[in-house]
Amino acid sequence: MEPLRSHLARITHLNQAAAVLEWDMETYMPTGGAEARSKQVATLRSMAHELLVSDETASLLDRAKPTSAIDEDLVRVVLKDAEKASRVPSSLIAALAEASGRAKGAWQEARSTNTFALFAPHLERIVDLSIQHAEALGYTEQPYDALLDQYEEGATTQKVSDVFEEVRSQLVPFVKEITGTGMSCEGPLHREYPEAEQWAFGLRMAERIGYDLDHGRQDRSAHPFSTSFSTTDVRITTRLEERFFNPAFFGTLHEAGHAIYEQGIDPALEGTPLADGTSLGMHESQSRLWENLIGRSLPFWEYAYPQAQKAFPLALSDVSLDAFYRAINSVSPSTIRVEADEVTYNLHIMLRFELEQKMITGAVAVADLPQEWNDRMEAWLGVRPLNDSEGVLQDIHWSLGAIGYFPTYALGNLMSVQLFDAAKAAIPNLDEHFRAGDFSPLLGWLRTNVHQWGRRRTASEILVAATGSDLDATPWMTYLRRKYEALVAR
Contacts with its own copies by CB under 8 A lie at: 9-10, 13-14, 16-18, 20-21, 24, 28-33, 35-37, 39-40, 43-44, 47, 212-217, 219, 229-233, 270-271
In the bound state with its own copies, the residue whose beta carbon lies nearer, of 168 and 217, is: 217
Catalytic residue among 255, 291, 354, 356: 255
Report CA Rg, the chain: 23
Spatial separation of the C-alpha atoms in residues 469 and 311, rounded to whole Å: 42
CB of 149 to its own copies, least distance (A): 29
Measured CA to CA, the distance from residue 471 to residue 481 in angstroms comes to 19
Question: Residue 327's Cα: distance from chain center in Å?
Answer: 24
* Residue 410 CB, nearest approach to its own copies (Å): 33
Is 192 one of the annotated active-site residues of the chain? no
- The answer to whether the CB of 261 falls within 8 A of the CB of 289 is no
Return the closest-CA partner of residue 236 out of 452, 455, 27.
Answer: 27
List the alpha helices (DSSP H) in 179-279.
195-209, 245-263
The DSSP symbol for 291 reads: I
Which residue(s) pair with 238 in the sheet?
Answer: 220
Strand order in the sheet with 226-230: 218-220, 233-238, 226-230
Closer residue to its own copies (CB): 50 or 339: 50
Q: What angle do CA 460, 465, 471 make, to 5 degrees?
A: 35
CB closer to its own copies, 272 vs 416: 272
d(CA 81, CA 53): 9
Q: How far apart are CB 15 and its own copies at their closest, in Å? A: 10
Distance CA 350, CA 325 (A): 27
* Identity of the residue, 43 or 113, whose beta carbon is nearer to its own copies in the bound complex: 43
Closer by beta carbon to its own copies, 232 or else 309: 232
Nearer to its own copies, 33 or 89 (CB): 33
Cβ 12 to its own copies shortest distance, Å: 9
At residue 263's C-alpha, the angle toward residues 460 and 273, to 5°, is 60
Smallest separation, CB 232 to its own copies (Å): 5
DSSP 8-class letter at 379 = I
Find the helix or strand (DSSP H, E) in which 13 lies.
helix 2-27
Q: Catalytic positions, please?
A: 255
